[in-house]
Amino acid sequence: MKLVPLVFVLMYSVVGEPVAAQSLPRATPESVGFSSAGLDEATASLQAHINASDIPGVVAAVARHGELVYFEALGLRDRERGAAMPPDALFRLYSMTRPITSTAVMMLWEEGRFRLDDPISQYLPQFANQRVLIDSDTPNLAQTRPRVGDITVRQLLTHTSGLGSRSSAMYRTEQVRLRSITLPQMVDNAARVPLFEDPGTRFRYGISTTILGRLVEVWANQPFETFLADRLFAPLGMTDTVFWATEDRADRLTTVYRLDDGSGELYPYGIEDVPFTERPALIEGGVGLLSTVMDYLRFAQMFLNRGELDDTRILRADTVDLMTRNHVPASALPLGRRGYMAGSGWGLGFNVVLDSRRYTFPVGENEYWWDGSSGTRFSIDPEHGIITVVMAAISPSRGGGFREQFKDLVYAAIKD
């Protein structure tokens, strides 16, 4: 495989030992083919980004062959309070919620609750007669046409449903998505406005996964958060993956920061009207979860193990294989015109690497990954047996390229 420059793997550290029940077995870097000195450089890079006010703080981890070889918590959780970044800090996952929701969907698929190519109107009849915008570039609700084809479950999983982004002008004007409304209300809103294009014709990243959360409720006949807690989080030992930070967790919730271009200083930035210390009305499968690096590492390790962790099977191995290959039709590729999106496909919940030459950071063959809009990222690399998870709290999420440079240095530290 060709290693193109990328970042976000990590090094071995005893700083901030994670909760024992959540951890993976430990190993020294050299025992699994890493250079300790090389991983030290990855830590130095993260610290340099903190010193430069690119990010306020960070927690990062890397595992190889199922063993934790690097774990580091650096910088501050809250700059105004001078609160150090704890190893079990809670971060807003935003888009990294989507692979978790997709996993819940596929657990129910294995149980025969639906077929991937079922029309979603079979379960959510409000989508039966949804129309399509005539011009998606300048949306006008008075200018629509009949839809060609039905939205399927597979299209929700691959963002080819015709539904749009929660931040789109049309959705904002029509108040389709608000954390102050319930999930059924949001689904009704999404069905009330027209699609941006016919299902299956274009990749458009957006609210599709939140609709899947409602489908989980319909198929499982229980609240979405209950299904996740009982069927996924508890079996995997993901003790800190939640939709809001209760009082006992609030002092671990990171503050999101934004860079002031004028002063070059970071300032607290409130993204949501309903804070993550309160239970939102909207339990949102697209962007709603909080989690820790160690929780997400366990989730990712289950996938690298092809559906199993600590003798607990969550998915069949063939289901993992199905989820982690491209399902976007050739007619809707490339997903984007520039950067890594031009070399990516989309599986059933994950970005999947199709052409590593399009990436500016190292990726393995058949790697799958994704990130979040406030500075989180994970990657699962079956070729090298490596998982990387890195979380900061910065919006926009670039943070001076800390994630890319981190993965560059981690992969540069591979000796074997």
CATH (domain of 107): 3.40.710.10
Do both 125 and 151 map to the same domain? yes
Q: What is the 3-state secondary structure (H, E, C) of 76-101?
A: EEECCCCEECCCCCEEECHHHHHHHH
pLDDT over threshold 90, residue 86? yes
Do both 80 and 106 map to the same domain? no
Q: Model-level pTM?
A: 0.94
* Distant-in-sequence, close-in-space partners of 94: CB < 8 Å, separation ≥ 6: 287, 372, 373, 374, 376
Q: What are the distances in angstroms from CA 360 to CA 145, 245, 338?
A: 41, 35, 11
Average pLDDT of the segment spanning 360-371: 96
pLDDT given at position 10? 37
From 57, 60, 107, select the one nearest 82 (Cα to Cα).
Answer: 57
Return the SS3 of 369: strand
Do both 33 and 65 map to the same domain? yes
CB 304 within 8 Å of CB 387: yes
pLDDT over threshold 60, residue 14? no
Note if the bond before 334 is cis, omega within 30 degrees. Answer: yes
Flag whether 396 is in a domain: yes
Flag whether 57 is in a domain: yes
Cα atoms found within 13 Å of the Cα of residue 72, Cβ hemisphere only: 27
Do both 160 and 211 map to the same domain? yes
Count of positions (residues) in the chain: 416
Distance of alpha carbon 169 from alpha carbon 171, whole angstroms: 6
Distance of alpha carbon 98 from alpha carbon 107, whole angstroms: 14
pLDDT over threshold 80, residue 21? no
**E strand or H helix at 213, and its extent?**
helix 208-220
Do both 267 and 388 map to the same domain? yes
DSSP state of 30: G
Going by pLDDT thresholds of 50, 70 and 90, the confidence category of residue 22 is low
- The residue segments making up the domain with residue 400 are 1-90+255-271+300-323+383-416
241-256 pLDDT, tens digit per residue, is 999 999 999 999 999 9
269-306 pLDDT, tens digit per residue, is 988 888 999 999 999 999 999 999 999 999 999 999 99
Distance of alpha carbon 378 from alpha carbon 375, whole angstroms: 11
Backbone angles phi, psi at 152, to 5 degrees: -110, 165
Structural domain tally of the chain? 2
Do both 25 and 106 map to the same domain? no
Distance of alpha carbon 116 from alpha carbon 106, whole angstroms: 9
Flag whether 186 is in a domain: yes
Do both 199 and 123 map to the same domain? yes
Do both 83 and 106 map to the same domain? no
Flag whether 318 is in a domain: yes
Flag whether 370 is in a domain: no
Do both 54 and 132 map to the same domain? no
Give me 282's structure tokens.
Answer: 């909207």
Do both 110 and 205 map to the same domain? yes
Share of the chain above pLDDT 70, in %: 95
Do both 206 and 83 map to the same domain? no
Flag whether 339 is in a domain: no
Going by pLDDT thresholds of 50, 70 and 90, the confidence category of residue 412 is very high
Average pLDDT of the segment spanning 148-162: 98
Distance of alpha carbon 374 from alpha carbon 95, whole angstroms: 9
Cα atoms found within 13 Å of the Cα of residue 306, Cβ hemisphere only: 8
Flag whether 31 is in a domain: yes
Q: What are the distances in angstroms from CA 16 to CA 10, 23, 25?
A: 14, 12, 15
196-250 pLDDT, tens digit per residue, is 999 999 999 999 999 999 999 999 999 999 999 999 999 999 999 999 999 999 9
402-412 and 36-51 helices cross at what angle (nearest 10)? 170
Q: What angle do CA 292, 293, 297 make, to 5 degrees?
A: 120
Average pLDDT of the segment spanning 78-82: 96
For 113-144, give one letter per residue: b (16+ CB within 10 A) or e: bbebebbbbebbeebeebebbeebeebeeeeb
Flag whether 235 is in a domain: no
Which residue(s) pair with 133 in the sheet?
Answer: 144
pLDDT over threshold 50, residue 397? yes
pLDDT over threshold 90, residue 81? yes
* Distant-in-sequence, close-in-space partners of 132: CB < 8 Å, separation ≥ 6: 144, 145, 146, 147, 148, 162, 194, 195, 196, 197, 198
Question: For all residues of the chain together, what is the average pLDDT?
Answer: 94
Do both 78 and 200 map to the same domain? no
pLDDT given at position 147? 97
